[in-house]
């Protein structure tokens, strides 16, 4: 699946209002425009911090002795850069974690269990479209553009659910993290995902299916 391909058909979710129900890939002219829109909150916070740093540097130049200005400016820039970096990382992590709050987690696992997407690009596009709406409705931190396309949705699933689950089972817990009350939902979703992947692999081995543009990028 190619990101930003204008020829890709739009994906609509049955039962939902189709007006405006498009993936960010089909809305934004390029990935940069999407990233700026999706990260508007941290960008605003960083802008405010830059303004504060600039004001502090101005005050330093107004109030400090001439031979101390360079040192004070360097300290402000260093501390300001560190604060900006921490702010950007913290907000981004907070936004990503909003995709794993209980209501969003259950709905996400439900969609995967029902759709059984495997590595089918169109199926992941469909799930991304549905979950963009769900995440947006469940959290004031999230924009309607959480997932750019099916690829980003699949990457999120792998990073936050599939890999931790595999790591847990490899460590000897056959049911993953037994302390997680949502583990049964995660288990069922991963089981459905793996069954579909295995079906595809068996079809590919027998020559009934071939790897092409309709498979997700991994």
So where are the chain's domains? 99-205
- Residue 215 binned pLDDT confidence (cut-offs 50, 70, 90): low
Distance CA 127, CA 13 (A): 9
For the stretch 84-128, pLDDT in tens is 888 778 877 887 888 888 889 999 999 999 999 998 988 999 999
If pLDDT is split at 50, 70 and 90, which confidence band does 194 have?
very high
Residue 170 has pLDDT above 90, yes or no: no
pTM over 0.75: no
pLDDT (0 to 100) of residue 5: 41
Interval 54-78: pLDDT, tens: 887 777 777 666 667 677 777 778 8
């Amino acid at each position: 699946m190619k990101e930003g391909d204008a020829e890709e058909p739009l994906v609509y979710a049955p039962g939902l209002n189709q007006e405006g129900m498009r993936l960010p890939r089909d809305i934004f002219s390029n990935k940069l425009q999407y990233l700026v829109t999706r990260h508007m909150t941290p960008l605003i916070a960083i802008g405010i911090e830059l303004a504060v740093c600039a004001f502090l540097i101005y005050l330093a130049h107004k109030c400090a002795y001439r031979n101390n200005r360079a040192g004070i400016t360097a300290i402000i820039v260093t501390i300001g850069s560190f604060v900006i970096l921490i702010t950007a990382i913290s907000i981004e992590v907070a936004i990503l974690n909003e995709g794993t709050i209980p209501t969003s987690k259950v709905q996400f696992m439900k969609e995967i269990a029902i759709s059984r997407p495997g590595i089918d690009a169109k199926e992941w596009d469909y799930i991304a479209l549905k979950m963009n709406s769900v995440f947006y409705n469940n959290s004031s931190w999230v924009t309607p553009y959480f997932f750019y396309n099916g690829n980003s949705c699949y990457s999120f699933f792998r990073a936050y659910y599939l890999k931790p689950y595999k790591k847990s089972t490899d460590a000897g817990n056959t049911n993953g993290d037994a302390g997680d009350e949502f583990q049964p939902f995660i288990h069922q979703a991963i089981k459905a995902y793996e069954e579909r992947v295995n079906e595809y692999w068996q079809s590919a081995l027998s020559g009934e299916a071939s790897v092409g543009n309709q498979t997700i990028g991994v």
